[in-house]
Amino acid sequence: MGLAFKIETPAATRDAEVVTYRDALLQTMRGALNDDPNAILLGQGVDDHKGIFGSTIGLADAFGKDRVMDTPLAEEGLTGIAVGAALNGLYPIQTHIRADFALLAMNQIVNLAAKYRYMFGGRFEVPMMIRMIVGRSWGQGAQHSQSLQSLFAHVPGLVVIMPSTAESILSSYPWLIRHHRGPVLCLEHRLLYDIGFRVDASPGAERTPAVGSRKLRAGKDVTVVATSIMVLEALRAADHLAELGAADVELIDLHCVSHPDTDLILDSVARTGRLLVADTSWQAFGVAAEMCRIVCERDPGLLKAPVKTLGMAPAPCPTAKSLEDLYYPNLRRLTDDILRLAKGRDDHGVPLPDDASATDVYKRFKGPF
């Protein structure tokens, strides 16, 4: 069992049980296949002994290889096949072991799946899910580590989610699979797979809202809006600062990148007057830029200080660990930025946590993938 992050959602207070991100995914995939005989899983290696980092393991034995289907190496074709299958009554769930591979399916995702409903005046629905994993660390490099949420969220017609915890998987995937009648893109983070989270295991537990954003921590000094693994980094930063009594952080997990809860964000910024956005991707034209748009269009006067944003360095991802550690935003930088924002000056004098890279903190295994 990995680190058990304590996520302060209402669901985590009673009857808490520790569930890993991976097990939440596996439970969700099994549930989808159980609930609906027309649900199928399609992906390279979904039926093998590794089972998409354990998230589909054993499902081919349980449900058969015609429902948990290994596929040819044909990303565009398979997304098109998923669209056609959805049009004729199936619920396909496609997997990409790396998000980078979904770029080969961009035509089907952007030109077809996202538009099938609108372009035909609502005559069709394309209920389907595409899961893709954002790689990071162990030298994944330029083509195995990209975090492409803003490319997808830019396109009307797609629902894009980035689960940061087991809880966020359990509260959104089953709901979206059952109720959303269009394409859902899930960007899962490789480093989160091994981490355990406290989730409410009591029967009929109230889950946080299925989509939209979630407030994970209330605070009065700074609003941090974060995605994916940066949510956990922000929690660590917030705990550190709370321990020192240095700053009180309000943390919002953006979760649904395509449909953020703007009221939640604006309400928070109205109270704190300070916004920091911590995303897993590049800042330009991305989540960071979009959060600034949301605030500036509503009322830039809400801000008492300029916004700060954290993301990957504006370069392709290098492989050397020394460069990789510089490339990704780390806890020390995040904490420092929060303090600069909260204190209004750079020489705040508050001790920072040590800068062990997130890779070392989160990763429970050594390479290769």
Partner 1 sequence: MTHDDIDLDTQLLYETLRIRLVELRIIQLYPSDKIQSPVHLSIGQEAVAAGACAALLPEDLVFGSYRSHAFYLAKGGDLRQMMAELYGKATGCCGGKAGSMHLAAPDVGFMGSSAIVASTIPHAVGAALAAKRRGLQQIVVAVFGDGATEEGVYHESLNFAALHQLPVLFLCENNGFAVHSRISARQSYDLLEHADSYGIPTRLCAKGNDPRAVYDTVAAAAERVRVERRPTVVVVDTYRQMEHVGIGEDHHVGYRSPSEAEPWRRTDPLVNESALVARFTPQILREIDDAVAFAEQSPWPGADALLADVA
The catalytic residue positions are 75, 144
The residues that touch partner 1, with contacts defined as CB under 8 A, are 38, 40, 66-67, 71-72, 74, 76-90, 92, 107-108, 111-112, 116-124, 156-159, 182, 258
**88, 40 in Cβ contact below 8 A?**
no
Q: Shortest approach of partner 1 to residue 93 CB, angstroms? A: 13
Q: Shortest approach of partner 1 to residue 83 CB, angstroms? A: 5
**358, 233 in Cβ contact below 8 A?**
yes
Helix axes 21-35, 166-179, angle to 10 degrees: 20
Q: Shortest approach of partner 1 to residue 33 CB, angstroms? A: 12
Q: List, in sequence order, the alpha helices (H) in the chain.
A: 21-35, 51-54, 59-63, 75-87, 106, 116-119, 149-153, 166-179, 229-244, 262-272, 287-298, 321-327, 331-343, 358-362
* Closer residue to partner 1, CB minimum distance, 180 or 333: 180
Distance CA 105, CA 176 (A): 21
* Closer residue to partner 1, CB minimum distance, 54 or 209: 209
Pick the closest to residue 242 from 11, 16, 1, 8 (CA basis): 8
Q: Shortest approach of partner 1 to residue 85 CB, angstroms? A: 4
Structure-token pair, residue 224: 């941090």
* Closer residue to partner 1, CB minimum distance, 85 or 99: 85
* Closer residue to partner 1, CB minimum distance, 40 or 307: 40
* Closer residue to partner 1, CB minimum distance, 151 or 158: 158
Q: Shortest approach of partner 1 to residue 156 CB, angstroms? A: 5
* Phi, psi dihedrals of residue 312, rounded to the nearest 5°: -70, 155
